Structure 1
Amino acid sequence: MENVKWINGSHKEDNRIFDSEFEVEEWAEALYPDFVAYLSEINNVGYATPDEKVIKYLASLFPQWADYINLQIGVCTGKTEINGQIIYKIWTVKL
């Protein structure tokens, strides 16, 4: 996870646990402009959230988004505990 540009923290929804798959999809897809802005410039871009559903959906979106701008990436996931709360993470690695 070295040199990862974490894009979370600028939206109040970053720490939200969504109720439905529809909300997860809408939120994850809304992150596209944030990711694409960094995917072409920075080696690794990541997102962290307490909602595992968001990470799972982003795992399917990241390769598509990279493909749109002709990049080859790997997708990594992990989790950590902060103050008793599990935080799920996803990040890209350019290949």
Structure 2
Amino acid sequence: MENIVWINGSYEEDNRIFDSKRQAEEWTDALLPDFGPYLIRKMNVGYATPDEKVINYLEYFLPKWASYNNVKISIHREKTIIDGQDIYKIWTQQV
């Protein structure tokens, strides 16, 4: 997990667990402007959240967002525990 730009931390929703899949999907889709510039520059970018639903949607959306920009990536996921809370992480790696 070297050279990854983590984009979480600038929104209140970053630490939220959404009530429904639909809310999580809408939030995830709204992250495109945050991920896009890094994907275009072919930089590795990641996101961490306590909501696994968001990570699942990012796993779906990230390859699509990368392909829009003719960028090839692989996706990596990890679950860690921070201060007793499950934190799910996802990040890209340029291929």
In the superposition, the TM-score normalised over structure 1's length comes to: 0.97
The one-letter amino acid of 1:91's match is W
**What amino acid sits opposite 1:86 in the alignment?**
D
CA positional deviation for 1:29: 0.2
Q: What is the CA distance between 1:33 and its match in structure 2?
A: 0.4
- Please provide the CA RMSD for this pair: 0.7
Matched residue count: 95
Which residue does the alignment assign to 1:90?
Answer: 90
Q: What are structure 2's unaligned runs of at least 5 residues?
A: none
Q: TM-score when scaled to structure 2? A: 0.97
Q: Residue 75 of structure 1 corresponds to which residue in structure 2?
A: 75
Alpha-carbon offset, residue 42 of structure 1: 4.6
**Unaligned runs of at least 5 residues, structure 1:** none
**Structure-1 separation of matches of 2:23 and 2:9:** 18
List structure 1 runs of 4+ shifted beyond 2 angstroms: none
Identity %: 60
Question: C-alpha deviations, 1:6-43, integer Å up to 9, x for none?
Answer: 00000000000000111011000000000001112252
